[in-house]
Structure 1
């Protein structure tokens, strides 16, 4: 199949690589051309702009950073017209408001929007082991499912409304933020009493919280290993904000999410926006003044 991929960041590169390895004809476009050089060397085609990419493919995948990038790259009259008759698979985490706008615009231009946000970090994407949600018109989801399966360990159908996949992704990221925040604060507490984060989190992630999210982020906190970021603090702040906006629209109180947003903002204000969001542990340690107390 002739497949396009727009947005070749740390996640998109790994995902597009899986499509290429599966034998598909892959066309790529990214704002920074250097990001696609390695894939072009492996046989992918580079497009000079999104319109030229769309002229070559029947399905286009996108993995852009945020609402603003999606609007600038994809929600323009020329691009929407070029999408006519094609399927657009969006893997990005974006606002529910924008999802609804995109669906309406695609229908108006006789294109099809499929939501396929993912759970997994860059190394998981590079291994083709993502967990991928999928929602949209049944015929379109069936058409692109073989492509989704190439990039994932499992595809999770979420029905025919794209916003259901997107809200599931947003809610999942809220749970991840909560897990990181709770480990950050709990390990700050144990450190104040002389128990290292490494010792404490080793016990917790082998017993009560023996799950991948706790184990992976717990290891990062224990080792204070926050670079390179698999998921940057600034992106976490964006996603928690998306959750709060969606909650406000449906009058769903989420006080924990508000606390997490403030902690992420505090980290960004301290200059840590590019660190992995596991560095919320730095915020908890700073609030407890552990370094000043000789508990660092």
Structure 2
């Protein structure tokens, strides 16, 4: 079992940390709002007042935060994790952050001789709860091998995308594909309804066809049921699409998809699940 520090206990991080505790690892947790640590401490974790103190003595440090700014504050800020790391530690950024920021973090850690992986996840709250996440990893093969047994306490697969930063690139693609399919299935089920074909019937008939993906089927089912409880809120998806499209003018389909989600946010749906885009 490993001595692990987990930084960030939001909807995903709290579930991932709990699975590490359940697997028998020695886990220290930290969160900006300390009360979120309490359930995990009750389950057997330790806690610390700052990221710097939390990572002291850790073999593996995992962070799961909202965006570039939150991650930068936890790693680089006052009493940040960079000031307390053991040189032999393996650091893992599982937040969905921009490839540009990953390059910055990787450089800072490499300069200190500390191993680093970018390892965002495919999956949402149900998969985090069930330990069925898929880790999309960038970094050296020997570091991926070191991380894999720990990752498999939180997920079902570890996919090595390549060098540092490539896990983050792959995560941008994964979320973009989900966004495209969600907008498309929402529009097409509306089309079916206008044409007199019941959307639930259309969805069930599409299920066995070769063009229907699991993601589109899941989004379609939530749309026809009117279930938009926030597993993956529109606001977070817009953050990811912003990273994907930063400085790009050649991703025309993705720009159109981003516009659809921006309209949903403007309609007051930003805190709802991405399937709420079908309501605009």
Normalised-by-shorter TM-score class: over 0.9
Aligned residue in 2 for 1:129: 132
How far apart are 1:219 and its partner, in Å?
1.0
CA contact (8 A) 1:133 1:155 kept: yes
CA contact (8 A) 2:58 2:86 kept: no
Residue 4 (1) aligns with residue 5 (2): yes
CA contact (8 A) 1:84 1:109 kept: no
Residue 262 (1) aligns with residue 262 (2): no
CA contact (8 A) 1:267 1:280 kept: yes
Instruction: Give the match's secondary structure for 2:165.
Output: helix
CA contact (8 A) 2:58 2:85 kept: no
How far apart are 1:271 and its partner, in Å?
0.9
CA contact (8 A) 1:83 1:109 kept: no
How far apart are 1:262 and its partner, in Å?
0.7
CA contact (8 A) 1:6 1:61 kept: yes
Instruction: Give the match's secondary structure for 1:141.
Output: helix
CA contact (8 A) 2:93 2:117 kept: yes
- Alignment TM-score, normalising by the size of structure 2: 0.94
Instruction: Give the match's secondary structure for 1:158.
Output: strand
Q: 1:190 aligns with which of 188, 192, 213?
A: 192
Aligned residue in 2 for 1:101: 104
Residue 271 (1) aligns with residue 268 (2): yes
Correspondences of 1:171-250 after superposition (within 5 Å): 171-227=173-229, 229-245=230-246, 248=248
Instruction: Give the match's secondary structure for 1:150.
Output: coil
Correspondences of 1:36-55 after superposition (within 5 Å): 36-55=37-56
- Structure 1 pair 39–209 and aligned structure 2 pair: CA distance change class (3 A): farther
CA contact (8 A) 1:88 1:113 kept: yes
Aligned residue in 2 for 1:293: none
- Structure 1 pair 81–137 and aligned structure 2 pair: CA distance change class (3 A): farther
CA contact (8 A) 2:57 2:85 kept: no
For 1:195 and 1:208, the matched residues in 2 are separated by 20
How far apart are 1:210 and its partner, in Å?
4.3
Q: 2:149 aligns with which of 142, 146, 151?
A: 146
Residue 163 (1) aligns with residue 160 (2): no
Q: Which runs of 4+ in 1 moved over 4 A?
A: none
Instruction: Give the match's secondary structure for 1:4.
Output: strand
Q: Deviations over 1:211-266 (max 9, x none)?
A: 32122111110111001x110000111111111127x2xx7x21110011111111
Q: Deviations over 1:168-191 (max 9, x none)?
A: 110111111010010011112122
CA contact (8 A) 1:205 1:218 kept: no
- Alignment TM-score, normalising by the size of structure 1: 0.89
Q: Which moved more, 1:134-143 or 1:37-46?
A: 134-143
Instruction: Give the match's secondary structure for 2:253.
Output: helix
How far apart are 1:70 and its partner, in Å?
0.8
Q: Which moved more, 1:232-241 or 1:130-139?
A: 130-139
Unaligned runs of 5+ in 2: none
Q: Aligned-residue CA RMSD in angstroms?
A: 1.6
Q: Deviations over 1:50-86 (max 9, x none)?
A: 1110114121101101111111111237532322512
For 2:130 and 2:96, the matched residues in 1 are separated by 20
